[in-house]
Amino acid sequence: MRALLVVNPAATTTSARTRDVLIHALASDLKLEVANTEYRGHARDLARRAAESGTYDVVVALGGDGTVNEVVNGLLHHGPAPSDLPRLAVVPGGSTNVFARALGLPNHVVEATGALLAALREGSERTVGLGLAAGTPGTADEAVPARWFTFCAGFGFDAGVIGRVEQQRERGKRSTHALYVRQALRQFFGEPHRRQGTITIERPGEDPITDLALSIVCNTSPWTFFGNRPIYASPKASFDTGLDVLGLTKLTTPAVTRYATHLLTSTPERGPHGKHAVSLHDLADFTLQSQAPLPLQMDGDHLGLRTSVTFTGVRHALRVIV
């Protein structure tokens, strides 16, 4: 099998020696070409060229969720072709690796490589659905290019937290759970819309849901991990269905305390719930609009401010070796 291995050399949990070992292991079973990323967006460009060339049977992403997201967007630059979906494999090398872990892959890079080699030998793969976010026609954001996401997107509070974390990482801070907690607290106390939300969910044929202060879009479950603990924002979300949404109408101190506890104690059967929580399951198309510009994130990548984003759940978008 011909494969392109896209390597993020800055991946937080792999060393140069580890990457060399993994490359040799993969090369024993694959006709392998290796490409290291050199700038933000490079993984997307490499995967796009690989897809357009028709040279490779599979593209392997070695890195964190950001690297995987870029590779997916490169593979699907021209959209999914139902008769010939692109094939992806993942070796987790980031700090959280939500997509790989949601697929059931080990979080240890060497163990994950062994699992990948076994799946390749057995021809084991599955088809997954993905989320697609784009600018909404008729709004100031209509020209924003569409972008795929693999496990989640956020409009508002959680995207603001990720933006703060990225700023800290640019200053040399390591990506740790403690860093996320600190930035979440700073975002909370600086959040201007936590008592009266500005977000509206619009769905075809349904009444709008207004005044949300937080909105999380999930393509799978769990939403993220806190260490080894899975966090379920939308427990019913699945790669086999459309998109799920969790919205909160208030971010007051009592409400945040209650819903943070719900998240930390969430299970595959029960997520955040209560009078200020809105949960929607298996949506094909919807729009999130805000009266004020809010930050947007996809797969943990901060994408700047938006006033309107249209989401589509695309089933059968990608083949994954697993």
In this prediction, residue 57 carries a pLDDT of 96
Residue 225: per-residue pLDDT: 94
Write phi, then psi, for 138 (nearest 5 degrees). Answer: 85, 5
CA–CA gap between residue 85 and residue 153 (Å, rounded): 23
Q: Look at residue 189 and tell me whether its pLDDT is greater than 90.
A: no
Dist CA 284 CA 211 (whole Å): 22
Task: Give the pLDDT score at 302.
Answer: 95
Q: What pLDDT score does 36 carry?
A: 96
H-helix or E-strand containing 178?
helix 177-190
97, 117 contact by CB (below 8 A): no
Per residue in 222-251, pLDDT (tens digit) is 999 998 899 999 999 999 999 999 999 988
**Spatial separation of the C-alpha atoms in residues 137 and 144, rounded to whole Å:** 10
- Identify the DSSP state of 191: -
Measure the CA–CA gap between 48 and 78, rounded to whole angstroms: 9
pLDDT single digits (tens) 266-284? 999 999 999 999 999 999 9
| DSSP reduced 3-state for 179 | helix
CB 77 within 8 A of CB 51: yes
Confidence of residue 178 (pLDDT cuts 50, 70, 90): confident
> What does pLDDT average to over the chain?
94
Structure tokens at 154: 């956020």
Please count the residues of the chain.
322
**DSSP category for residue 146:** P
- β-bridge mates for residue 294, sequence order: 306
The Cα 98–Cα 224 span in angstroms is: 6
Phi then psi dihedrals of residue 66, to 5 deg: -65, -40
CB 11 within 8 A of CB 64: yes
- Given a cut of 90, whether residue 300 has pLDDT beyond it is yes
